[in-house]
Amino acid sequence: MITYKALTIAGSDSGGGAGIQADIKTFQELDVFGMSVITVLTAQNTLGVQGVFPQALEAVEAQMDSVLSDIGADAVKTGMLFTADIIRLVARKLQQHKAQNLVVDPVMYAKGGAQLLQQEAMDALKQTLLPLAKVITPNIPEACAILGIPDIHNATDMRAVAEKLLELGPQYVLLKGGHLSGTQAIDLLVAADGSEAVSFISDRIETPHTHGTGCTLASAITAELAKGRPVNEAVQTAKQFITAAISHSLNIGGGIGPTDHGAYRRARLHVLS
Ligand SMILES: Nc1ncnc2c1ncn2[C@@H]1O[C@H](COP(=O)(O)OP(=O)(O)OP(=O)(O)O)[C@@H](O)[C@H]1O
Ligand SMILES: Cc1ncc(CO)c(N)n1
């Protein structure tokens, strides 16, 4: 029986591989009731982003009020927010509704390079949203953009970057190493309470089809936090979930295809049967 509830506040990806669609699929696969607040509509496919249509602030506010005043959420994730005004509104409403277990995925660019956060929104992200987060999940280019430093290119530099991000106020930083080269995909978790840093390592899977991997990882963490699991364990399950999804990624469309959100469940059912 589904007893836990998670909310994603993010952009819609018409192509189904990232954004709201990836988040809801992931919540469902992990047995959590999924809800959504749509901030931006994107016209998007495997080839790129053809259109970006931010929703009216009133529409974002009304969705948040509807969901949080009635149903509530055990954990909340933010993804593509696009404008400074939407970021400030979302931060204010999250505080008003006393949102728990907030995961902030500071989405800035799609895999094809399209900009998913306006340049002038960076300050609002840093000042209003990151301090509210239990976990933030930047990839390396996002982390370096937030800090205003040049991109790093090896795993040994990840620790210093992740620790610098803790100074912006989140309780945990999960710095994703998917953008590095090498035979492994390494993510590093650091905590503001001074507990040991933990690396989550998988073999790097040779595939171009990684559309939406960041959204999927962050929503899997959110689903596990909604169940009351500690951050370390939530990240561990999420890493297994995304690794299974990438292992079975889908060669659909003519560009960067999505991953298979059902792969983790099917692998577990096979083991259990
Ligand atoms: N080729 C790969 N093989 C295995 N794991 C990968 C691969 N690429 C990315 N990952 C893992 O997928 C997760 C997402 O990382 P990534 O750096 O791709 O996020 P992202 O760039 O934010 O994704 P997106 O913006 O497309 O949603 C991380 O756990 C990362 O280690
Ligand atoms: C709507 C949306 N959110 C996030 C991403 C990042 O993958 C994307 N491509 N599209």
β strands within the chain, DSSP E = 5-13, 33-45, 48-54, 75-78, 102-104, 135-136, 172-176, 184-191, 198-203
Pocket of ligand 1 (CB under 6 A): 18, 111, 139, 176-179, 185, 187, 202, 204-205, 210-215, 217, 239, 242-243, 246
Nearest CA, atom 7, ligand 2: 212
- 13 pocket-lining for ligand 2 (C-beta < 6 Å): yes
Residues across the chain: 273
105/100 Cα distance (integer angstroms) = 16
DSSP at 14: T
| Alpha carbons within 13 A on the beta-carbon side of 87 | 28
For position 188, what pLDDT does the model report? 97
pLDDT of 11 higher than 60: yes
pLDDT of 170 higher than 60: yes
Q: Which ligand is nearest to the CA of 214?
A: 1
Find how far residue 237's CA is from the centre of its chain.
14
Q: pLDDT tens-digit profile of 137-166?
A: 999 999 999 999 999 998 889 999 999 999
DSSP at 139: B
- 80 pocket-lining for ligand 2 (C-beta < 6 Å): yes
Name which of 259, 270, 268 is nearest 25 in CA terms: 259
Q: pLDDT tens-digit profile of 189-204?
A: 999 998 999 999 999 9
High-pLDDT (> 70) share of the chain, %: 99
CATH topology of domain 5-272: UDP-N-acetylmuramoyl-L-alanine:D-glutamate ligase (3.40.1190)
The angle that helices 263-272 and 231-247 make with each other, rounded to 10 degrees, is 100
Q: Is 213 a catalytic residue?
A: yes
Model's pTM, two decimal places?
Answer: 0.97
Number of other residues whose CB lies within 10 A of the CB of residue 146: 20
The CA radius of gyration of the chain, in Å to the nearest whole number, is: 17
Q: pLDDT tens-digit profile of 29-83?
A: 999 999 999 999 999 999 999 999 999 999 999 999 999 999 999 999 999 999 9
Edge-to-edge strand list for the sheet holding 75-78: 48-54, 33-45, 5-13, 75-78, 102-104, 135-136, 172-176, 184-191, 198-203
DSSP at 156: G
